[in-house]
Amino acid sequence: MKSKNPNQKRRWIILLSIVGFIVLAPFSSYAISYQPQTQAKTAYGNATQKNGYYEFLSTLSTVGIIFYPGGLVNPIAYAGFAESLSIASESSVFVTQPLWNLAITDINAASTIIQENNNIDVWFIGGHSLGGSSAAFYAIDHLDQIDGVFFLASYTTSDADFSQTSMPILSITGSHDDILDLETYQAAQVYLSPFTTSFIIEGGNHSQFGDYGFQRGDGIADVTLNEQMSETITTLTTWLMLINLVE
């Protein structure tokens, strides 16, 4: 009896492992992802679903805001935030829906949104946590298209260095955020542009930048979800208005 080729056996093991990963990854990602709560689900009912993103369109403005969701958070969890931001800023808001709920898997998602909405003249991009860092990667490679970048409990890195640019940047954090690595966050300040505004929501935490429940390891917020979202939206809307006035 001929013995099996060990290299052939190894290749089969690798192949089966890859197939297993492809088949199971979507299910395991959903299982460990944070899911939208009631408020977000209700708001999502008012959104328009597109290919790879959903949107809240405004006919009052030619300003577009692209939002990249936090890592392993179902993007629908940001629907309440996106809808309220669209109303408050009179802008169209687009939320990307990346593979496996990881914005880093589709950094160029903004390109599709921009191409499909050529009636919009001014574009802002940002996101929550890992989504903010992913949005920064897109912005640094498209400085001619993006008019401002915002971070919610997030930061940029040396691979998206805005320090030599004139990019308007807004950074919003919560004082009770125990997910954000403050040491890394502070070290990353050198990569921000000279036109950066920072704002701290007193009593806010990491989880309440979206509506997906309490994130493991986070601090306990001293403000409600609605209060933190309202303050975030007010700060963002004021910043957007000031940038538009300057430009």
243: nearest Cα among 148, 134, 145, 130: 148
pLDDT of residue 87: 97
Mean pLDDT, the chain, rounded, equals 90
47: nearest Cα among 80, 24, 74: 80
At 181, the amino acid letter reads D
Inform me whether the pLDDT recorded for 27 exceeds 50: no
Q: What is the pLDDT of residues 163-182, one digit of tens each?
A: 999 999 999 999 999 999 99
Cα Rg of the chain, angstroms: 20
Q: Provide the pLDDT confidence category of residue 60 given band limits of 50, 70 and 90.
A: confident
Bridge partners of 199, per DSSP, are 172
59: nearest Cα among 116, 120, 145, 112: 120
Q: What is the pLDDT of residues 65-124, one digit of tens each?
A: 999 999 999 999 999 999 999 999 999 999 999 999 999 999 999 999 999 999 999 999
Inform me whether the pLDDT recorded for 3 exceeds 60: no
Direct distance between the N- and C-terminal alpha carbons of the chain, in angstroms, rounded to an integer: 79
Report yes or no on 226 lying in a domain: yes
Assign residue 51 the CATH number of its domain.
3.40.50.1820
Report yes or no on 184 lying in a domain: yes
Which range of residues forms the domain containing residue 189?
Answer: 37-210+218-246
Report yes or no on 2 lying in a domain: no
Report yes or no on 23 lying in a domain: no
Domain total in the chain: 1
